[in-house]
Structure 1
Amino acid sequence: MKERTHKLKREVLFGVGVDPLTLQETVSLVEQKIRDKKPTHLLGVNADKINGLGIDDKYDDIIKNAEIINADGASLVIASKILKHPLPERVAGIDLMQSLLDISEKKNYSVYFLGSKQEVVEKMLSNFHSDYPKLNVAGYRNGYFTEADWPAVSEELRKKQPDIIFIGITSPIKEYLIDYLMRDSVNSIFMGVGGSFDVLSGNINRAPMWYQNHNLEWLYRLSQEPKRLFRRYLFGNIKFILLVLREKLLGGNHD
């Protein structure tokens, strides 16, 4: 098991220790890791990730041993309060990514973008010319490569030495790739960002603030992509509710 390099007491939910951090506290901790040159997996946990536990031991180990674990989901924050392990707030992945882009531009931290379609990542970077004109972009690569290409990806990243690598690849491949890169001596902050590349490119709209403030961002996403997300949200939400009830009944004392 990897040694944790910060001393925060984690709130254990569903067998995962989640850091009780606000967004700004997370940014400050990431900056500390950059200054200390500590390779770090910055992970956002939501209901979907919790639902995916227990299928693959390697995946579970990667999730549970990430150096920084945020609550990236209103459902997890609500569950934390029900289960008497309260988390301060949701740290949405896209909000955290944008905050890290802001601080990277101000302090000249280098960033690298890995994932999504070529046209999506290029459009995102084109938008950044106006949104983050002084951003130090170390490089980018689309997400259309196989495991056989991982050594070449790792070699490029070791040469570029970016401070932060944003990874827009689906789970669980994203988590396996991050684990591989860290073991292969890529000394960076790794953040999986889900569909953030699509939002920042303008390819997909983010939910309006009313939806965000009322914990209904998932409903807006469902309205945009009903065919892709209907089964995931319907069955995923039911499964998560059952997990919360099980956790409440067992008091967290389970295998």
Structure 2
Amino acid sequence: MGRIQMLNSYIDNLTMLQSLNLIDQAVSDGKHIHHSVVNAGKIVLMQKDVQLRESVNSADIINPDGQAVIWASKLLGRPLKERVAGIDLMENLVELAHQKGYKIYCLGAKEQVVSKVIEKYKQNYSKDIIAGYRNGYFSKEEEPGIAKDIAESGAQILFVAISSPKKENFLYDNRQALKSVNFIMGVGGSFDVVSGLVKRAPEWMQNIGLEWFYRFIQEPRRMWKRYLIGNSKFIFLTFKEKFKNKP
């Protein structure tokens, strides 16, 4: 499927449609796919966080979630086809689950947020696509029991809406226990958006790579370090990689 290596991360050169087809085929065939996404901030964290790097790079499919990753891939001569945002992939998979009769499990966010997501999916699609759900507040010691509950729920698709690196490490550490779930992926703050708690950037801002800025202006105190410092570090890493072999 054309996997590139960039800034200590593997990334698959897939379109949204290609990604969906691979996932649909895996679920249909009873196979297992561990999915991950990378954006500028996560790639910056992966430079020093060896556990996160292993958790991401061990995934079967790694999509580029941020527009900055697409730009960097072109600058480095390894152009990726398109951005495959985790929230868009998740919403497409919920639609697919409704069409094909697959069951989903939602793990993460606050109780009132994840329960609102479940209610919305029940109303928009059907209660039949829901295998179960749980909030994202739990200890490391509780993880094996949670993974067991998910595996026994009958879910074919698992969405984990927890911040990095916890969600990546949860999926990696519990990958054997979750083998019966055909598709597992981290979706970050997507439940906050689906529930209506957080508003997503207009499509034009998404298309020109300013979705991060829209998120920043909503919560500047909480997001300034992640975006302003993180994005600056990502730009530095990209140019360092670009010119490291130049005389």
- Mark yes or no: TM-score above 0.5: yes
The equivalent of 1:190 in structure 2 is 184
**Deviation digits for residues 140-169 of structure 1 (CA, Å, limit 9, x no counterpart):** 000111111112112211211311000001
Cα distance in 1 for partners of 2:46, 2:245 equals 18
Partner secondary structure for residue 17 of structure 1:
strand
* Offset at residue 185 of structure 1 (A): 4.6
Deviation at 1:134, TM superposition (A): 5.7
Deviation string 1:169-223 (CA, Å, 9 cap, x unpaired) is 1111111110122122532211100111000001111111221122111111111
Q: CA deviation at 1:243?
A: 0.3
Work out whether residues 108 and 136 of structure 2, in 8 Å CA contact, stay in contact via their aligned partners in 1.
yes
Runs (4+) of structure 1 exceeding 3 A deviation are none
Please tell me whether residue 80 in structure 1 is matched to residue 88 in structure 2. Answer: no
Q: CA deviation at 1:17?
A: 2.0
Q: Which runs of 5+ in 2 are unaligned?
A: none
Q: 1:16-70: per-residue Cα shift (whole Å, max 9, x none)? A: 2211111111000111221232222111111111101132322211111210000
Offset at residue 131 of structure 1 (A): 2.2
* Structure 1 vs Structure 2 CA RMSD: 1.5
**3-state SS of the aligned residue for 1:75?**
helix
Q: Does 1:23 align with 2:16?
A: yes
Check the 8 A contact 2:8/2:46 in 1, yes or no: no
TM-score, normalised via structure 2 length? 0.94
Q: d(CA) in 1 for partners of 2:143 and 2:12? A: 30
Q: CA deviation at 1:249?
A: 1.3
The answer as to whether partners of 1:101 and 1:135 remain within 8 angstroms in 2 is no
User: Structure 1: where are the runs of 5+ without partners?
Assistant: 1-7
What corresponds to 1:64 in structure 2? Answer: 57
Q: Which position in structure 2 is the counterpart of 1:147? A: 140
Distance (Å, rounded) in 2 between the aligned partners of 1:210 and 1:32: 32
| Cα distance in structure 2, aligned partners of 1:77 and 1:206 | 20
Q: Judging changes above 3 Å, is the alpha-carbon distance between structure 1 residues 38 and 250 closer, same or farther for their aligned structure 2 residues? A: farther
Alignment TM-score, normalising by the size of structure 1? 0.92
Report the Cα distance in structure 1 between the residues aligned to 2:163 and 2:226, rounded to whole angstroms.
14
Aligned counterpart, 1:203: 197
> Does 1:226 pair with 2:224?
no
Say which SS state the counterpart of residue 44 (structure 1) adopts: strand
Structure 1 stretch displaced more, 30-39 or 72-81: 30-39
| Rounded Cα–Cα distance in structure 1 between residues aligned with 2:204 and 2:147 | 41
Tell me which residue corresponds to 1:117.
110
Alignment counterpart, residue 165 of structure 2, candidates 172, 176, 191: 172
Alpha carbons 1:158, 1:185 under 8 Å: kept: yes
Q: How does 1:46-61 map to 2 (within 5 A)?
A: 46-61=39-54
